[in-house]
Amino acid sequence: MKTGILESKKYVVSTIPTGYTPFIISHWKYNGNANDSIGTNHGTATSVTYPIVNTIQMADFSSSTSSKISVPDVDNLSFGNGTIDVDFSIDFLVYFNAVNNCWLINKRFGGAYNMEYYCEVLNGTLRFLLVDQSAQAYRFKTYTFTPSTGVIYHFGYTHISGTLKIYKNGIDVGGVQQDQGPYISMENSIEPLIMGKSGTVTSISFNGKLGVQTFWNQGLTPSGMLDVATKKLNGTPIF
């Protein structure tokens, strides 16, 4: 595992939308490729196409259970160092062709090690999990929700000073936060960031599409998340 101080580089966009200061780590538009349009965290796509759905560009992971986008491990995609977690946010559009247990976005190996964080659908819930690998402990937020197929949603996830939040279409949905075990901090591991596939477990791969995905090195405020969600759902660039 890597060690050291968390990378603090910030990419500041030129036009500031309402309600938040836009410190963006990476922004994937999925407009024909898996490139990071503001940083250097470019993805490698496997069995992924890029359709336009209701005027919104998306990445389609439905062709096979091997469909995925993999982004090589770098420090600015890790948000813990074994001692402390920093604030961060993840947000994206999602369209389900079918609803099943799946990891939408994850930075973890498919087995029981090298885990950092992941966003999943599990048994009628959305879950956002942080993993303290060395302590074999978890911090997670759960929201009861079964998505509908054929609908574009905006999902947002934030970590601010130990508090996790899940947003749907820009609204904080509440839910239950829990710690399992003596959670301290995520480790800075060596696993890539994976979109659309559940590590090595093909039976719970995502069957659907992701769009306009952004990683932030701060926790977005509720008004900021609503602004981002509204723009993305309308097909309006956030900067």
- Give residue-wise pLDDT tens across range 98-117: 999 999 999 987 655 678 99
Mean per-residue pLDDT of the chain: 88
> Which tens digit of pLDDT belongs to each residue from 145-158?
999 999 999 999 99
pLDDT at 180 over 90: yes
- In this prediction, residues 191-202 reach a mean pLDDT of 79
Query: What is the percent of the chain with per-residue pLDDT over 90, rounded to a whole number?
Result: 75
- What are the residue ranges spanned by the domains of the chain? 23-233
- In this prediction, residues 107-132 reach a mean pLDDT of 87
* Of 123, 117, 122, 113, residue with least CA distance to 105: 117
* Confidence at 6, pLDDT banded by 50, 70, 90: very low
CATH architecture of 23-233: Sandwich (2.60)
* Confidence at 20, pLDDT banded by 50, 70, 90: very low
Cβ proximity of 83 and 184 under 8 Å: yes
Other Cβ atoms closer than 10 A to 234: 9
Q: What is the pLDDT of residue 19?
A: 47
CA 33 to CA 44: how far, in whole Å? Answer: 9
Q: The whole model's pTM is what?
A: 0.90
